[in-house]
Chains A and B, each alone.
Chain A
Amino acid sequence: MKVLACLKRVPNTGAKIVLTEDEQRIDTSGLGFTMSPHEECAIEEAVAQVETHGGSAHLLTLGPPEADEQLRTGLAMQADEATLLETDDEEWSPRATADALADGIDRLDDDEGFDLLLFGNESADAANYQVAVRVASELGYPCVTGIKDLEVEDGTAIARREVSGGEEVYEVDLPAVVTVKEGLNEPRYASMRAKMQARRQEIESVEPRAETRAGGLEKVRLEAPETDDSPAEILGEGPEAVPKIVEILAEEVEVV
């Protein structure tokens, strides 16, 4: 089985996000980069599926040259190959991103083709919730989203999505696109040897192609919202505060 996991390099931010002066991006001086926990689960799933069914796990991202760092993180988790659709670090719209990924997947596909294409449910930063769906549409593959439980059997993916009071179960034929959420699995910690080998592994860099369109969704600027720093009303220390808690629950929130 050939499995693909797509990921996105994003800054590893703290509680307070600082923007660049032009408000176009996050000031990343002093920050590292990472990917969404959803995507870590996608990589783990890709590797685990290959460990179960045989085959190979591939990684793909659209991003600046430095995004090889995130690809290597995935390689160290035992993915087999990685491809970078190299950009100049400008942010691509979700439609253009989907174009480029679909085109890249097309170009990566040898005769075998990918059986399973895994994405994070949404990216950590832009959270557009649509790239995977658009990629699936362009490739003509079925797509299930928001998955927290996945099995693959005989060319079918059995995917479960949480809904109120239970789980929806989808059974889709492969090849299919599946977007996953944290909780799907427990991503492994890469061993030091795997990390070292990943450092030395070659990463294919490919120039991305996307259709140019007028309009669409265009970022104008970013804004760091004001946080409410008005301190809490301290009800007391330790159990002595209990009567006040009860009073609030009964009278202000009215849940007692």
Chain B
Amino acid sequence: MILALVEHDEGAPEELSLESLAMARELATAEGDSLEAVAFGDEADALGDELGEHGVEAVYCVAHDRLERYAPDAWAESVVQLASEHEAETITAPGTDRGREVLARVGASLDAPLATNCLAVDIADDGAYELRRNRWGGSLIEHARLDGEHKLLTAAEHEFPIEPAASTTEPSVSTFEPDLEDDLFAVQVDRVESGDEEGIPLGEARVVVGGGRGVGNAEDYDQLEELAELLGGTVGASRAAVNEGWRPHDDQVGQTGAKISPDIYIACGISGAVQHMVGCKGADTLLAINTDPEAAIVQKADWAVIGDLHEVVPELNEALRDAS
């Protein structure tokens, strides 16, 4: 059986979890194995219907009185126990902070190998996995073999399309009560502090307006803020702009910043360095506004406007205001 860790928001599976389910389902289909899911937290039992659309045959809702708050070691140990009980040899997780760290801990616990950032997985004749995974934020692809008693995988972000299974299942939903020792709670979320700024997190925005060195100073991001607001989106920045101190690091899109997956990324005054581009690969479409028609971003965009963002963006804002 293939066990997939699913993260959810009060019973609604997260996008990246569905992506990793797509990967897990491909494996389950190829191996003729069943796909089962493990979830933590309140209302996990509500996942059944939706996960059924994705071919999941069983949902295990982990229940423990100390698991109110996220505790990575406890999560990992729960997964280990569940996998052991149900003889799961393959365990998958979404490409999220939690998904990756929980599987890493599962790997440490089982002394099992973990392949993160997977793009595709095939099964070799000997039962090992032949997979492709992202390196360098996706600038390079590694072809690798994953072999062992247990095989752990996380999916790369925004690489597996979320599609319903050919035939919908009606998964059994059951509670799993792990046996968790005290020391597994040495690391546990103490509290969650909500951010100072309201607005949509970069990773979730449908529209991202990015600003780079071409913006020129911190003040002129106001124009981009306005555009983002008009489009119901959020503002991102290149590493160059963050290094200049024009934007906080949290706004950074790129290899060492946020990976975004909006419907459209509007890149203003951004040259398009590869470290930036790997952060916005997930964008469905890309519009570049740049003075230099030869800039790398123009080569990679779907649409481009050759011009100074300081002239184009205010005009665009005005047009959008008029339209609404």
* A–B: direct contact at CB < 8 Å: yes
Residues in A lying within 8 Å of B, measured CB to CB? 13-17, 19, 26, 36-38, 93-95, 98, 122, 124-130, 133-134, 136-138, 142-146, 148, 160-173, 181-183, 213-225, 227-229, 231-239, 241-243, 245-246, 248-250, 252-256
Which residues of the partner chain B approach A164 to less than 8 Å between Cβ atoms? 201, 203-204
**Interface of chain B: mostly helix, strand, loop or mixed:** mixed
- Smallest CB–CB gap between A119 and chain B, Å? 12
Given contacts A129-B101, A215-B148, A223-B141, contact A242 B299 (CB under 8 A): no
Question: Which residues from B are CB-within-8-Å of A133?
Answer: 101, 104-105, 107-108
**CB atoms of B232 and A237 under 8 A apart:** no
Verify if B67 is at the interface (C-beta below 8 Å from A).
Answer: no
Contact A246 B140 (CB under 8 A): no
When the two chains form their complex, are residues B114 and A241 in contact, meaning their CB atoms are under 8 A apart?
A: no
Q: Which of B36-44, B56-64, B161-169, B314-322 lies on the face that meets chain A?
A: B314-322
Q: Contact at A127–B116, with CB atoms within 8 Å?
A: yes
Residue in contact with B319 in the complex, picked from A98, A216, A232, A242, CB distance below 8 Å: A242
Contact B105 A137 (CB under 8 A): yes
Q: Contact check, A233 vs B303: say whether CB atoms are below 8 A apart.
A: yes
A97 to chain B, nearest CB (A): 12
* Alpha-carbon distance A241/B4, docked complex (angstroms): 47
A130 lies within 8 A of B114 (CB): yes
Report the stretch among B24-32, B47-55, B214-222, B247-255 that lies at the interface: B247-255
Tell me, yes or no, whether B11 is within 8 Å of chain A by CB: no
Pick from B72, B113, B139, B232: contact of A215, CB under 8 Å: B113
Q: Which of B102-142 contact A (CB under 8 A)?
A: 103-105, 107-109, 111, 113-117, 128, 130, 132, 134-142
Q: Could you tell me if B140 and A223 are in contact, using CB atoms closer than 8 angstroms?
A: yes
Per-residue CB proximity of B195-221 to A under 8 Å, as 1/0? 100000101101100000000000000
Cβ 8 A contact of B186, one of A129, A173, A224, A233: A173
Tell which of B108, B248, B285 touches A134, judged by Cβ atoms closer than 8 Å.
Answer: B108
Q: How far is the CB of B135 from chain A (nearest CB, A)?
A: 6
In the bound complex, residues from chain A placing their C-beta under 8 Å from that of B170 are none
The chain B residue sitting closest to A241, CB to CB, is B305
Sampled A-B contacts (18; CB under 8 Å): A14-B274, A15-B296, A36-B256, A95-B107, A124-B255, A126-B142, A129-B117, A130-B103, A145-B100, A163-B97, A165-B201, A169-B193, A183-B248, A217-B145, A218-B144, A225-B139, A236-B305, A237-B307
B23 within 8 A of A: no
B178, CB-defined interface residue at 8 Å = no
Does B257 lie within 8 Å of A95, measured CB to CB?
Answer: no
Chain B residue, CB-CB nearest to A128: B116
CA separation between A162 and B98, bound complex, in Å? 11
Q: A221-B143, A235-B305 are in contact. List 8 more A-B contacts (CB 8 A).
A: A125-B135, A134-B104, A148-B250, A182-B256, A183-B242, A232-B300, A236-B306, A242-B315
* Complex interface: chain A residues within 8 A of B140 (CB): 17, 19, 26, 222-225
A249 contacts across to B, CB distance below 8 A: 231, 264, 320
Find the A residue at minimum CB distance from B128. Answer: A215
B304 near A233: Cβ-Cβ < 8 Å: yes
When the two chains form their complex, are residues B107 and A17 in contact, meaning their CB atoms are under 8 A apart?
no
B180 at interface by CB-CB < 8 Å: no
Bound complex: CA A166 to CA B201 (Å): 9
Chain B nearest CB, measured from A32 CB (Å): 15
Chain A residues with CB below 8 A from B82, complex form: none
Contact digits for B252-273, partner A, Cβ 8 Å, 1 yes 0 no: 1001110000011000000001
Tell me how far the C-beta of A116 lies from the nearest C-beta in chain B, rounded to whole angstroms: 14
Q: Of the candidates A124, A127, A146, which one forms a contact with B101 in the assembled complex, judged by CB atoms under 8 Å apart? A: A146
B135 CB contact (under 8 Å) in A38, A215, A222: A222
Contact call A232/B299, Cβ cutoff below 8 A: yes
